[in-house]
Structure 1
Amino acid sequence: MNNLIAGLIKFRTQDYEEHKNLFCRLKRSQQPHTLFIGCSDSRVVPELITKSLPGELFVVRNIANIVPQYHHVLEQEAPMSATTACIEYAVNVLKVEQIIICGHSNCGGCGSIYLSDEELTELPVTKKWLELAQTVKTRVLKELDDPDDIMKREWLTEQINIVEQIKHLLTYPFIVEKYNKREIDIIGMYYTIESGEVFIYNALKGVFELAN
């Protein structure tokens, strides 16, 4: 707790003072240009990775950066409601110009989709949430040459998951409408924790390419 309090004081006396005018402008409204959907993993810090200032990103974080398909919204399934509500608000109210789906290396959420029901017995809500990524699991196991190659399965799952969540975004009618009119862009991003490298999904080639 002492470390957190020290951080709060440092923010107020240093970071806030440096950007005081910005915070004053943000007092009554926000106009973020990007909806950033990322994993809740503590090692992933959207503003740090993208070097964004307060007011630029509208951030949604959950286990394994999952986007529930639109039919789950209509079914009003409770575990999905927070993420879907944020997507709806960002697109329809804040009018963001782009949506980023950001996955990352060594993602515990992506790894957990391979756990057995018994292993998830004590995590019923998490188990329900991870069911949304079963299509990812199916696709990975189909593409994986060696099922014992855990390292390859890991990064393949993390990257395929990003692509699948982009597809899920395009089940939202209000996103499809804006996307077809080129009023909104959708970007897949893969962050490698240990190297600091970020790879951007090239939909035409079907591969992730290093941002440079």
Structure 2
Amino acid sequence: MPSIVAGVVKFQNEVFPQKKALFEQLATGQHPEALFITCSDSRIDPSLMTQTAPGELFICRNAGNIVPPHTTETGGMTASIEFAIGALGVPHIVVCGHTECGAMKGAMNLDALEKLPHTKRWLSYASAAVSIVEEKGANWTEEERMQELLKENVLLQLQHLRTHPQVAAKLAAGKLHLHGWVYDIRTGEVLAYNDETREFEKVSKRYHDRIAYHMERMQAAHAHEGHSH
């Protein structure tokens, strides 16, 4: 805790003053670009990974980046998804898994979680992904099976997302886009699912056109600032 509270003091004294205008703007409301669903794992930092500022990501985290299929029961994930899409009008949802995921290791062997009953039940929402890997990878190594499970779990949670009424409605109207990512802790690589090729590709390849467009806009903005000065 000492390092955490010292960090709060440093934030208040050094970081906040530099971003005061941003926080004053954010105090009046938020307009995040994406709902970012990822694992609670302490090694994952969505804002660091995406280089986004406060106000740009609406973040939901849980063990295994799980999205329960929609039911009439209220849960934290269900309510947060509904709010992000229905109230904030977020246009993108990213489900981001990661390497070395303890939750996915647990999902592969639910029987070992008898002493963690809530964890066991929660990870059962990944059971279909486990079944897919067992079917496809009977002759694979454990490492190969785990790498595939990370991807299949992300795809499964995207399927679950589509069962949520607000998500289904916005998708049908073309006002929402879903993204499936897997982040590699060791290398920093991020793979993104391509619906057309049905493969996970490097983010730089998957979003090449969007990145180029963004860079052009950034360069134009900098050039405009230069002329104005």
Q: TM-score range by the shorter chain?
A: over 0.9
| Structure 1 residues 1-212: aligned runs within 5 Å | 1-70=1-70, 73-74=71-72, 76=73, 81-117=75-111, 119-146=112-139, 149-212=141-204
Corresponding position of 2:222 = none
Alpha-carbon shift at residue 134 of structure 1 (Å): 0.8
For normalisation by structure 2, the TM-score amounts to 0.86
Greater mean alpha carbon deviation, residues 195-204 or residues 10-19: 10-19
Structure showing greater radius of gyration is 2
User: Unaligned stretches of 5+ in structure 1?
Assistant: none
**RMSD (Å), alpha carbons:** 1.2
Q: Secondary structure of 1:92's partner?
A: helix
TM-score where L is the length of structure 1: 0.93
Identity within the alignment, % = 36
5+ residue gaps, structure 2, are 205-229
Matched pairs, number:
204
- Residue 190 of structure 2 aligns with an amino acid whose one-letter code is V
Larger RCO: Structure 1 or Structure 2 (Cα < 8 Å, ≥ 6 residues apart)? 1
Greater CA drift, 12-21 or 186-195: 12-21
Distance in structure 2 (CA, Å) of the matches to 1:116 and 1:130? 8
Which structure shows the bigger proportion of residues in helix conformation? 2
Equivalents in 1 of 2:48, 2:145: separation in Å? 28
AA of the residue aligned to 1:188: G
CA distance in 1, matches of 2:170, 2:161: 12
Letter in 2 for 1:204: E
